[in-house]
Structure 1
């Protein structure tokens, strides 16, 4: 292949490197586009469910899967049980503290659900036990079904740390794990009460967490790298044609 004073003479090693790297870069770009589509679908699902009317959780359990209830507004009736759990390393309005979770035994259905009740300040130091009151007897509550809060990578086995009688500090909220610890039959999701400290941030946090635009940005970067690789490959392998005067 010749371009006026230049000819394209691909070398072995640049060709092999390009043949290996180019498909990888393109695959990563298309993977990010697929992730963006998935996040867009999740965002649409969230928006549709967020504004639906509230349903009674005890009635919905028998008719809807756990995934179908995610982000739905629910009402629930029952009584609080023990133990209580404090999710560690939670910041609210710049202050460190805990999110408080308590199991609620449902009155009109078998089993219990973890309820995110509020945020509690850390106190003077980590040895201080936060104080809170738990309503006794039958309660009627309203909230929203939310995924269990995400946590970072656990570098060691998760330790459920006792702080007081029937009060434990944890580094993650996993209903299945806490069901084994408490011997309760817990539903596989969390209900965040409307008056919990983070409740007003549900919609903004969830919409921001889907991150479709971020994946589109990553896709652009991978495709740009692929284009740059091709350009470098062409430049490296373009050789000046010899002339009669050379």
Structure 2
């Protein structure tokens, strides 16, 4: 009788250990998802605080943003990115490039990038401006859509951002970000600002400016830039699923290993004695 109870005891112990391990793992994954949500919310709040700061003008931009030839530390980058700016300068229209395979509002086209030379006394500083998006002519893939660029002094507003994200491209003679025909075309897959500065001789700054505000009539640009979102909802959803699984394991364990194993037999035996 005693020996027959030993396998049952070991099975009970093993099931108990398995349930504890399962609950520990699922609960830890739930808390991990909550931690990820908190991290993303913190980053989003930091970006929102940056965007709410007073905009820099030419002098502040020239003094704060280093040239592309100098490295930007992580602390300085955090201080610079997403900062509003209101600048005055002149477009260097002949240096405009078109970044290929960029999407806006679900359509494929180009990001238009044009360097802006700041006005004196900061004319020694040039910043690459992400001016907006234009559609692509799929019948003639090398045709450039018309973009109107003012020739005089312009005033623009935007926010400081890193250069546009790089897309995967085939090697082109070691020229990262170059077009296949050796920089003869204005259509590029990527924009390497350091290489751009070296090839053009322009004193480009290490960050770019994403131009905001509606495009002027006839400019031909769309500026419906993606909005930064904390994206914490999915992490809360995953956490709910993991915690729900933990609760389910506990309920199943209580029912099958405690209620059905001990409570119901005990109650049935007690009822049988009383009858």
CA distance in 1, matches of 2:99, 2:20: 49
Contact kept, 8 Å, 2:104 with 2:224, in 1: the verdict is no
Describe how 1:162-201 pairs up with structure 2 within 5 A.
162=180, 165=184, 167-170=186-189, 177-183=192-198, 186-194=204-212, 195=214, 199=223
Give the deviation of 1:119 after TM superposition: 1.2
Give the deviation of 1:124 after TM superposition: 2.9
The alpha-carbon distance between structure 1 residues 189 and 220, as it changes in their structure 2 partners (threshold 3 A), is farther
CA distance in 2, matches of 1:46, 1:54: 14
Which position in structure 2 is the counterpart of 1:219? Answer: 239
User: How many residues of Structure 1 are paired with residues of Structure 2 in the alignment?
Assistant: 229
Which position in structure 2 is the counterpart of 1:240? Answer: 261
Larger radius of gyration: 2
The alpha-carbon distance between structure 1 residues 220 and 87, as it changes in their structure 2 partners (threshold 3 A), is farther
Give the deviation of 1:41 after TM superposition: 2.6
Give the deviation of 1:116 after TM superposition: 0.9
Residue of 113, 116, 121 corresponding to 1:101: 113
CA distance in 1, matches of 2:140, 2:17: 59
Provide the alpha-carbon RMSD of the alignment. 3.9
Q: Could you give the per-residue CA deviations for residues 213-241 of structure 1, whole angstroms, max 9, x where no partner exists?
A: 33222222222222223334444544635
Q: Mind listing any 5+ residue stretches in structure 2 that lack a counterpart?
A: 1-8, 66-75, 216-220
Which position in structure 1 is the counterpart of 2:49? Answer: 48
Q: Could you give the per-residue CA deviations for residues 27-50 of structure 1, whole angstroms, max 9, x where no partner exists?
A: 322222222222333333333333
Q: What secondary structure is seen at the aligned counterpart in 2 of 1:217?
A: helix
Give the deviation of 1:159 after TM superposition: 5.6
Q: What secondary structure is seen at the aligned counterpart in 2 of 1:10?
A: helix
Larger RCO, structure (CA 8 Å, separation 6 or more): 1
The alpha-carbon distance between structure 1 residues 201 and 86, as it changes in their structure 2 partners (threshold 3 A), is closer
Contact kept, 8 Å, 1:66 with 1:189, in 2: the verdict is no
Contact kept, 8 Å, 1:66 with 1:188, in 2: the verdict is no
TM-score (norm 2): 0.63
CA distance in 2, matches of 1:18, 1:191: 53
Q: What secondary structure is seen at the aligned counterpart in 2 of 1:115?
A: strand
CA distance in 2, matches of 1:155, 1:22: 46
Considering fraction of residues, name the structure with more strand.
1
Q: Mind listing any 5+ residue stretches in structure 1 that lack a counterpart?
A: 1-6
Contact kept, 8 Å, 1:162 with 1:168, in 2: the verdict is no
CA distance in 1, matches of 2:51, 2:130: 18
CA distance in 2, matches of 1:186, 1:9: 71
